[in-house]
Amino acid sequence: MQTQLRTTTCGALRPDNVGQTVTLCGWADTVRDHGGVMFIDLRDRTGLTQVLCDPTEVPAEIWQAVQTVRPEYVLQVTGRVEARPADMVNAKLATGGIEVRSHHITVLNRSATPPFPLDDKEAERVSDELRMTYRYLDLRRPAMQRNLRRRHAVTQAVRAYLDSQDFTEIETPILTKSTPEGARDYLVPSRTVPGTCFALPQAPQQYKQLLMVAGCDRYYQIARCFRDEDLRADRQPEFTQIDLEMSFITPEDIYALVDGLIAAAFVAAGHPAPTLPLPRLTYAEALDRYGSDKPDLRFALPLVNVGEIFAATQFQVFGRVLAGGGVIKALNGKGLAGAPIRIMDDWTAMAKDAGLGGLAYIRVQEDGAWKSPIVKFFSDAEKDALRAALDIAAGDLILFAADDAAVVNTALGRLRLLAAAQAGVIDPAAFALTWVTDFPLFEADAEGGLQAMHHPFTAPCRADAERLESEPLSLRAQAYDVVLNGVELGGGSIRIHEAAYQRRLFAALGMPAAEYEDRFGHLLRALEYGAPPHGGLALGLDRLMMLLGGADSIREMIAFPKNQKAMDLMMNAPAAVSERQLRDLGLRFLAAAPSE
RNA sequence: GGGGGCGUAGCUCAAUCGGUUAGAGUACCAGACUGUCGAUCUGGGUGUUGCGGGUUCGAGUCCCGUCGCUCCCGCCA
């Protein structure tokens, strides 16, 4: 990175360079003033180099100037590389074997006192609010520099991999059309067509399908997506997907391709490649066994269906549920019998929040005795069967849920995660990847209607396709997710490539013909002109980087993220705009902007 | 929209049962110091206890309201 202002970087010098005269540029990291001699650790993104300044070796005015140097001042230093005496080598620094004995130092810029310490350990404890307000300082920290560099390495590897698989990177519009059945759209009012709005894309979904119709065969894009929904630690209103689509494929082609893509990303991020092929789980299996369509497989802790054991139970609560077509499942929290009351209260509250009437449990004491408010209703045969089914031993905590399958799975699925965390069985360094396949095509929406589980362009499994109108909720989709450590990394599907079936599907969703022709006419028309069978997938790049980097929020992996109210605290966006701008757009606000 | 947590010095935090002049580390400022590398030593407190109201002889502490940040549920085809 040699330039007119420097000959080398702050992370580059080694004992081999001793004797060379070099010029470095960077930020003063720490300044150690001994009166008669000064040490300045000079930092750039590549590392730290110790600069020594001796008043007998620099002009007086430079010595004067150096006295004023504070952390984050920007310096240009020229000097000779010298070996450090053996007892002064700093093993913690890559450059610790040498130092630069300066004979000229220029203060390129001064710095105000930083609002928070630019030290990786200290800064991690500083509020996100401050870090985001001064994001350019936060990003100066080595840890954040590493995150940015690692993200770059992964996107480079993704591009190289997809290029090797004959993909073409194609950009699609940011100003596009609203498709209101997904997330809430971000809207951009049009000046040239008054009274209308563009929407920012929630995903390049329709464009990439149209690129398949166009014969592109294999498309990808590192695509920015926008969804105006409430934020989470792993959800930002704008985020990045590795978006791809292929023609003439089945799901097997996607699995094989994406397995390789993920392996390339792991390696680029400095991790061992996962064992391929990645394991697969059907949606039905995932829900049954783990209570979630994005199971964390870093640990087992399976949900066990104990309905048969209680087929003839005397326990009214269980009996009523079974008679009503519900299910009874249990999970064995190994070693959690001693879980404090406070924890159990939290878990019970969570179970109720998930829809359960209450949380039944058995604490298995050290002497093997079962302590539980419900066990008195169990017969000896039921107890024996339970013991065998759940591998019950001293110290275990057995949790029961009895209700509709959906409620039971939700509640126990969440409890499974809490119990694993409480038991400390999650290896934070582990990576557990899985495909989840065969999602349902539809789910019931709040009003009892149908809603596409993935999106309305998803093709059903061929065997199911003709039950579209008769038993829509029974249709499995050719849809799949990739899950890493209990986080949905991404997903996709084989798409409907026949206009007639796409119309049938819109109709099955309860959409009048006039409506789907209006909203999706462009896609339907395209499908009429020889659309190839095609499908694809999108991976959340921010989430992938978060998991690969061991971070607890995707904000750590985004240069300029937004806070929980979707504001950019550094730029102060969103912000009020001028009357003139609004007039041009033909807009008037009903709400006033908050005043400062 | 709902639930939880937090809000005291630039930063990270402490302050007992409601009690006297709100402290510590660090940062910062001044001075000293020729081998440090989280330099050290000496001195210095730089504060609207988020904001507003209330209770009280007395409020950082209790009550009401409000604002901000954050985590989660809902939401996220």
Mean pLDDT in chain A? 95
The nucleotide closest to A96 (CA, C1' atoms): B37
Angle A480-A252-A497 (CA atoms, 0-180°, nearest 5)?
A: 70
pLDDT tens digits for A66-100? Answer: 999 999 999 999 999 999 999 999 999 999 999 99
Write down the H helix ranges in A48-191: 60-67, 120-123, 128-133, 135-138, 142-164
pLDDT tens digits for A203-254? Answer: 999 999 999 999 999 999 999 999 999 999 999 999 999 999 999 999 999 9
CB atoms within 10 A of CB A377: 16
The gap between A177 CA and B4 C1' (Å) is: 38
Q: Give dist(CA A291, CA A405) in Å, integer.
A: 9
pLDDT at residue A591 tops 80: no
CB atoms within 10 A of CB A399: 26
Q: Which fold has domain A299-426?
A: Gyrase A; domain 2 (3.30.1360)
Q: Give dist(CA A442, CA A450) in Å, integer.
A: 6
CB atoms within 10 A of CB A325: 8
The gap between A31 CA and B71 C1' (Å) is: 38
The gap between A358 CA and B55 C1' (Å) is: 41
The nucleotide closest to A491 (CA, C1' atoms): B77
SS3 label, residue A576: coil
pTM of the model: 0.95
Residue range A400-422: mean pLDDT, rounded: 94
For A95, the token pair is: 């450059």
The gap between A113 CA and B29 C1' (Å) is: 12
pLDDT tens digits for A456-486? Answer: 999 999 999 999 999 999 999 999 999 999 9
The gap between A35 CA and B41 C1' (Å) is: 12
The nucleotide closest to A37 (CA, C1' atoms): B34
* Domains in chain A: boundaries: 15-109, 299-426
For A87, the token pair is: 């007892």
| Per-position b or e across A454-464, b if 16+ CB within 10 A of its CB | bbbbbbbeeeb
Nucleotides of B under 7 A from a protein CB: 1, 10-13, 26-29, 32-40, 68-77
pLDDT of res. A596: 47
Name the DSSP class of A475. P
The gap between A350 CA and B35 C1' (Å) is: 60
Residue range A154-166: mean pLDDT, rounded: 98
The nucleotide closest to A88 (CA, C1' atoms): B35
The nucleotide closest to A56 (CA, C1' atoms): B34
pLDDT tens digits for A354-404? Answer: 999 889 999 999 999 999 999 999 999 999 999 999 999 999 999 999 999
The nucleotide closest to A205 (CA, C1' atoms): B77
Between A591 and A80, where is the model more confident? Answer: A80
pLDDT of res. A339: 86
The gap between A350 CA and B2 C1' (Å) is: 14
Number of H helices, E strands in chain A: 16, 22
In chain A, % of residues over pLDDT 90? 91
In chain A, % of residues over pLDDT 70? 100
pLDDT of res. A340: 84
The gap between A115 CA and B64 C1' (Å) is: 35
Residue range A18-30: mean pLDDT, rounded: 97
pLDDT of res. A101: 97
The gap between A590 CA and B53 C1' (Å) is: 31
pLDDT tens digits for A420-455? Answer: 999 999 998 999 999 999 999 999 887 778 999 999
The gap between A568 CA and B53 C1' (Å) is: 33
The nucleotide closest to A54 (CA, C1' atoms): B34
Cis peptide before A574 (omega within 30 of 0): yes
**C-alpha R_g of chain A:** 30
What angle, 0 to 180 degrees and rounded to 10, lies between the N-to-C axes of helices A251-268 and A142-164?
Answer: 140
pLDDT of res. A179: 79
Q: Give dist(CA A291, CA A417) in Å, integer.
A: 10
Find the largest Cα–Cα distance for chain A: 96
Q: CB-based contacts of A314: which residues, under 8 Å, 6+ apart?
A: A377, A379
Q: Give dist(CA A279, CA A434) in Å, integer.
A: 5
pLDDT of res. A595: 60
The nucleotide closest to A201 (CA, C1' atoms): B77
The gap between A342 CA and B64 C1' (Å) is: 29
Residue range A517-538: mean pLDDT, rounded: 96
pLDDT at residue A592 tops 90: no
pLDDT of res. A479: 97
Is the CATH code 2.102.10.10 the one for domain A15-109? no
Q: Give dist(CA A442, CA A456) in Å, integer.
A: 9
SS3 label, residue A488: strand
The nucleotide closest to A116 (CA, C1' atoms): B11
